[in-house]
Structure 1
C-alpha cells in the first residue's frame, strides 16, 4: 500500500523530461543528475514518464527502467507519481503493478485514446488499473488524449482509489465545480503551465507541468505568492513564465527545455525522433542568443537559465 494519499502530494511537480543520448538510448546517468538537480532546486515531487517524458516514444520495458532509476535516485526525498497510461488496460495495469513494486507513491494515466473509446470503456480502464495496486490514482484530463466532460470526471471520482485529476484543460471554471460538486478532498493538479495562477485561483491543490523542469524557481515563488495572497506578484511571475513558454513553444519546445536545463548544469540530453533536436553547436548558440534577446526585451529577472547565459 502507498505510504501517502494523493492529498499529501502537493506544491510544484515537474512533469519530468526523459534524457536520451545522441543515439536515442535512455541515458541513466543524465537522469540521475536531473533528479538531483530538481530535488536541489526545491521541487515538491516528480511526475514520471508522462507526455513531457516522451512516454509514448518508449517501450513498456523502457518506461519501467526510467521509473526504477528515478525512484532509486530520489531515495524517498520527495514523492514520485508514475504515469502508467497506455491504450491497453493490460499494459497500463502491468506498468501500475511495477510502479508499486519499485516504490512509486501514486499513479496517473491518460485515458485510452486513438479508437474513440466510450465513456463506459474509459471508466472500466481506470477501474481496472486502479484495482491492480494499492496506490492512489490521478486521472489525466489532457487534450492530446481527449478531454473529459464533467459527467465523466464525476464517474471517475466514484472509482475506489481514484483520488484526483491532473487537469490540463483551459476551462478552469470547472475546477471550482469539481470542488463544489465532487468534493474538496478530490485532488486537482492544474496542468497548464501558462495558467498555473488561474488554476490555483479556481481551487487547484498543486501544479504539474513541463516548464517546471527548467524554471522551477518561478513557479515555487508563484505558489508562495498565491498562498500569501499577493496576487500582483503572482501575476508578475506568471507573466515571466508565459513570456518564456510562448517563446519556447515556437522553438522545438521539448528539445529547448532540455537545452535550457543543460545551461544550468543539468544536461537533459536529447529527444527521440521525430522531435527536433539541437545537435549542432551553432544552432544551440543561436538559441542562446534568442533567449538573451528575449531577456533583454522583456526585462525578465529571477530566471536561472537566463542568468546563466
Structure 2
C-alpha cells in the first residue's frame, strides 16, 4: 500500500506562531513534483506535540486537499490516551487521509498486553488503515516483534510499521512475525539501505523534506535492486541524514530548508528552538556534500 520516499513533513509557522497554510501547500506541491511517494503530515517532525487538535487536523485536511490523490497521505494520529487515539483516527478519516500513523502509548509505559489492547481498541473503532510507529527513543515504549506479529494477524486494518528502533534486525524478525506482505518502512534515513535489503519497502523520511528528489531516486534504486546506484546515493546523502539530528529535531531540518528555500517560513514553536552553531555548520557541510548548495 505504501512504499518509496515518504517525507515526514515539517509544519511551517509564521513569525507569530500561526500555521502558514500557503507555504504548506507550496511545500506539498514541491514534494510531489520532486518525486515523493507519499506524505506524512503532523508527525514528530511536523511538531504535532505543539499543535492543538483543531490545528492538527486542519493541517491534515490541507495536505489531503493539496495532494488531490496523487500520492497517499498518512496522517499522524497517535496518543498515549486510547480514547484520544480513537478520536484522532476518526478525525484523520474524516479529513480524507489514506491511513493513520499511530505510536504506542508514550509516557504511560504499558506492558505488551496493554499495547495490544490499545491497538485493538483503535482498530475496532475505525476502518482506516493503520501504520504502527515504533520509536522507543521518544515514547519509551517498544512494540515487541511478537506483539507486532500479533497485532498484524489480529487486525487486517493494521497494514504496516514505521520502524525507528534503530535495530536493523527488526526488519527480518518482523517480516517473519507479521508476514512478507506486511508493509515495513524505515524510520531512520541512515539505515534505509540495509532496511530495504532486509525486506523494507521505503522510508518515512526527515531528509526528504530537504532532498526529496535524491531520496526518491534512492528508494527507486532500492526497489529496482540496483544497489550500486543506491549505495552511491546513500554515500551522497549520509552526512545530511546525520546532520538532521545534530540538535533537537526539527530544528536542523528547518534550518536546512531555509538554506535551500530562502524566505520560507521556518519558525519553531517552543519548546523547540533554533539549532546550535555546530549543528548549523554540520547542515551546511552536508548540503554541500549532497550537491544541494
TM-score of the aligned structures, taking structure 1 as reference length: 0.86
- Which of residues 35, 40, 55 is equivalent to 2:48? 55
Number of aligned residue pairs: give it: 289
Query: Following TM superposition, where does structure 1 have runs of at least 4 consecutive aligned residues deviating by more than 4 angstroms?
Result: 289-296
- Which of residues 217, 223, 228 is equivalent to 2:224? 228
What is the CA RMSD across the aligned residues, in angstroms? 2.3
The equivalences for 1:84-163 within 5 A come to: 84-143=77-136, 144-145=138-139, 146-160=141-155, 161-163=157-159
TM-score of the aligned structures, taking structure 2 as reference length: 0.90
Distance (whole Å) between structure 2 residues aligned to residue 102 and residue 291 of structure 1? 35
- Which of residues 40, 43, 47 is equivalent to 2:36? 43
Offset from partner CA, 1:253-280 (integer Å, 9 cap, x none): 41331232234338252211121127xx
Alignment partner of 1:28 is 2:24 = no
Equivalent position SS for 1:277? coil
Distance (whole Å) between structure 2 residues aligned to residue 162 and residue 105 of structure 1? 13
Alignment partner of 1:215 is 2:211 = yes
Unaligned 5+ runs, structure 2: none
Distance (whole Å) between structure 2 residues aligned to residue 123 and residue 71 of structure 1? 29
Change (3 A) 1:229 1:77: closer
Distance (whole Å) between structure 1 residues aligned to residue 161 and residue 8 of structure 2? 14
Equivalent position SS for 2:269? coil
Unaligned 5+ runs, structure 1: 1-7
Check conservation: 2:4, 2:220, Cα contact below 8 A.
no
- Which of residues 68, 72, 77 is equivalent to 1:79? 72
Distance (whole Å) between structure 2 residues aligned to residue 294 and residue 48 of structure 1? 25
Distance (whole Å) between structure 1 residues aligned to residue 195 and residue 210 of structure 2? 20
Equivalent position SS for 1:90? helix
CA shift at 1:177, angstroms?
A: 2.2
Distance (whole Å) between structure 2 residues aligned to residue 291 and residue 187 of structure 1? 31
Check conservation: 1:255, 1:270, Cα contact below 8 A.
no
